[in-house]
Structure 1
Amino acid sequence: MLESALHWGEIVGGLVLLLVVLYDLFQSVVLPRPAINKLATVRYLVRGLYWMWRWVGNRMSSIPRRERWLASYGPVGVLAIFIAWGLALVLAYGLIIDGVRDEMRPVPESFGTSVYFSASTLVPLSYGDFVPEGVPARVATIAESATGVILAALAITLLFSLYESFQRREELVVTLDAFAGAPPSGVQMLETAASHGMPEELVKTFDDWRQWAAAVLESHLAYPMLVFFRSSHDNEAWLNSFGAVMDAAILVMSTVEDKSEGPAKLMYRVGNHLVEDLSWYFRRWTPRSDSPVIERFEFDEAWARLKKAGYHCKPAEEAWPTFARFRSTYASPINGLARALVIIPAEWIGDRSYLPHRQREQRRGLRRKRRTRED
């Protein structure tokens, strides 16, 4: 009687775990829209693995090595997700098979043997050392074999979707370098447009990045692991580029008089939507604040640069409150996410206590001085 109850308990427990994993797979891979509680089964694993990954990366003295290490987390995280799902499925079917062990020939000697049969069926690599004879055992075996095929197909589909979305995201990030610098700056973006006489290019940039923000909004909430995929070039980060375009947009809206104000407003609205949804999903990393994050003197420096570039600027005293109000809607969440992802800091985005490109320039300058002295 007790043994029968234990077997039924294993079957029920296995079915519950199986349903949880399959539901999570459906929510995370199949459902083509943002859903609540994505990665519900493995989110704690992903979160814990990332904190460990970041902890190791932060202790690397070499910035290029740190960037390579952190960049590897995205692909590793995806593999970890599927490994966790696979192990959970093996355990779920192992419980079910162990519950109907009397219908297997030979009868599995232990729960570990049932898990072994489950694993060899899911992969599938069954060697024929166990044969299901009863109907429940056969149904469980066929279902697990089909689940293994589906899991492999979903893994391939997800990888294609992730890398396609990643490539689309990075195209505009790379092209923004020539316009906004690397790391990017919203002020430099406006300076470049003025110095090269390209007001139409500024309008086009706002339009392109508005569409970019909408695409990232859909892809990164549907597949949150994309947030951990870092840009592949030095001094580039998709979050910095997005922040720079947002800064340029609100500078046009609040400080300078330019015909690109309409596209800038549209970019700002769609960009704010992206920030709000990312803040909702990564709420532990994106604290809300009414602060524009930057100091008044930094705005005054930007105002002076834009004035020098030839823009007709509103008085700084009048422009600053409007600029601060606009920037306070997105600055804190973006900076919080940038710090959590240890993204290379830009002019007004992220942890600005160190700038890798400036460190390299300083080292190069020291080398030149040493060579000059030696000569």
Structure 2
Amino acid sequence: MRAVFGVLGAVLVLGIFSSVLRTLVIPRPTRSSFTRIVQQAVRWPFQRVADLARGAETKDRVLAPVAPLSIVITLMGWLFCFMVGYGLLEAAVSGLGLRESLTESGSSLFTLGFAAGNRASLNAIDFCAAATGPIVIGLQIGYLPTLYAAYQRRETEVTLLQARAGSPPWGPEILARYAQVDVVNSVGELFRSWERWSAEVGESHTTYPVLIHFRSPKATRNWLIALLAVMDAAALRLAFNPSHPQSEVRMALRAGFVCLRDIADMQGIAYDPDPHPDGPLELTYEDFLVGVARMREQGYPTERSPEEAWPHFRGWRVNYEELAQRLARDIDAVPAPWSGPRRTPVAIRTPVTPVDRRPAPPPFKSA
């Protein structure tokens, strides 16, 4: 029986050490089964309640605590598993019962010192347990500022986009608002900033996957829907304005679907890496015309008709639509036009273009 305790204890301690290293230390996308199971277990009851809600705001309020709570539960789970693992090891090398061994390991792990064995074999395990507790807690303390710094950088651009794309954001609304204030030629600046944003999010959200489920401060904003809106705006720009500079637009669009694919690889979501331009698309031509009408209402200049632009637009969107809609469903993102269905039916909110309140020019008076 002691041999079984020793094997189980060693496997548990080494497995949790691996989870800590993969989650907190290794600066590259690595998957931890323990962390993923904990996050799924924490999310499950909240998601069941959210599925019963009818409004997007209610769903958002229910799901908002999930990601932060999963971080706390993960830390507690690591420490508990270490206590059990070291307790099994101590039971294997001593004559102590399982209860006394757990007391001994807990006293050492949390550096309480109220239980102390006199055996040399116990002292060695106690030293390891005493070092493990502060190291894990210290790593977690250093992990949180990094995590929240990445979250704040992500949300800054999402918040800035609200004035350009509405709430929730929508691709055609971006071009419509740029046309409304006569700054269509400066839209390249937006695409440059979102190219860098996509690279940062792709790196941070694969290294720290819990960020995927961190929700925005407001229910009508979401990082994934914002990225989808920018990518749709880029695809519309390329489809309708072939004579304009395309390098910045194409690079932003490519960075966007590379970001989505990196996240999909981390989440184990399958996708076609090279879809055919005429492949199936969830977005219909009728929905496309609704977006085009919104752009034209505000005077967005186009070089192609909708019929001519549609094949070009769908050839771009087929690269990212399936992944964006799958992730939007998984995280229950705010429902927005062109973003696909959610887990349960919810009303889609279309952003309203603000009224142009610039003063009208004075009437021309002839001499």
TM-score range, shorter chain: 0.7 to 0.9
Alignment CA distance shift 1:17-1:310 (3 Å): closer
Residues 206-255 of structure 1, C-alpha deviations (whole Å, 9 max, x = no match): 01110000000110000000001000113101111000000001111112
C-alpha displacement of 1:136: 2.1
Instruction: Confirm whether residue 126 of structure 1 aligns to residue 113 of structure 2.
Output: yes
Residue 347 of structure 1 aligns with which residue? 337
More helix by share: 1
In the alignment, the residues of structure 1 paired with residue 142 and residue 94 of structure 2 have an alpha-carbon distance, to the nearest angstrom, of 35
5+ residue gaps in structure 2?
351-367
Alignment CA distance shift 1:32-1:226 (3 Å): same
Instruction: Confirm whether residue 252 of structure 1 aligns to residue 225 of structure 2.
Output: no
C-alpha displacement of 1:318: 2.2
Q: TM-score, normalised by structure 2?
A: 0.87
Residues 10-69 of structure 1, C-alpha deviations (whole Å, 9 max, x = no match): 22321222111111211111001112xx12223223223323321112223464343122
C-alpha displacement of 1:169: 0.4
Residue 13 of structure 2 aligns with which residue? 18
Instruction: Confirm whether residue 311 of structure 1 aligns to residue 296 of structure 2.
Output: no
Residue 294 of structure 1 aligns with which residue? 283
Q: Within 5 Å, give how 1:259-278 maps onto structure 2.
A: 259=244, 261-278=246-263
Contact kept in structure 2, 1:214 and 1:274, CA below 8 Å: yes
C-alpha displacement of 1:139: 1.2
C-alpha displacement of 1:163: 0.6
C-alpha displacement of 1:200: 4.9
SS at 1:230 equivalent: coil
In the alignment, the residues of structure 1 paired with residue 232 and residue 173 of structure 2 have an alpha-carbon distance, to the nearest angstrom, of 10
Alignment CA distance shift 1:298-1:356 (3 Å): closer
In the alignment, the residues of structure 2 paired with residue 258 and residue 48 of structure 1 have an alpha-carbon distance, to the nearest angstrom, of 52
What letter is aligned with 2:157?
L
Contact kept in structure 1, 2:56 and 2:219, CA below 8 Å: no
SS at 1:234 equivalent: coil
Contact kept in structure 2, 1:256 and 1:312, CA below 8 Å: yes
5+ residue gaps in structure 1?
1-5, 103-107, 359-375
Match of 1:323 among 290, 313, 316: 313
Runs of 4+ in 1 over 6 A off after TM superposition: none
Q: TM-score, normalised by structure 1?
A: 0.86
Match of 1:233 among 218, 237, 240: 218
Contact kept in structure 1, 2:38 and 2:70, CA below 8 Å: no
Residues 254-313 of structure 1, C-alpha deviations (whole Å, 9 max, x = no match): 1234635221100011111111111222235x7668433211111122233334423123
Alignment CA distance shift 1:123-1:260 (3 Å): farther
Alignment CA distance shift 1:276-1:203 (3 Å): same
* Bigger Cα displacement from structure 2, 225-234 vs 288-297: 288-297
Contact kept in structure 2, 1:343 and 1:350, CA below 8 Å: no
Alignment length, in residue pairs? 343
Match of 1:57 among 35, 50, 55: 50
Query: Which of the pair has the greater relative contact order for Cα pairs under 8 Å at 6+ separation?
Result: 2
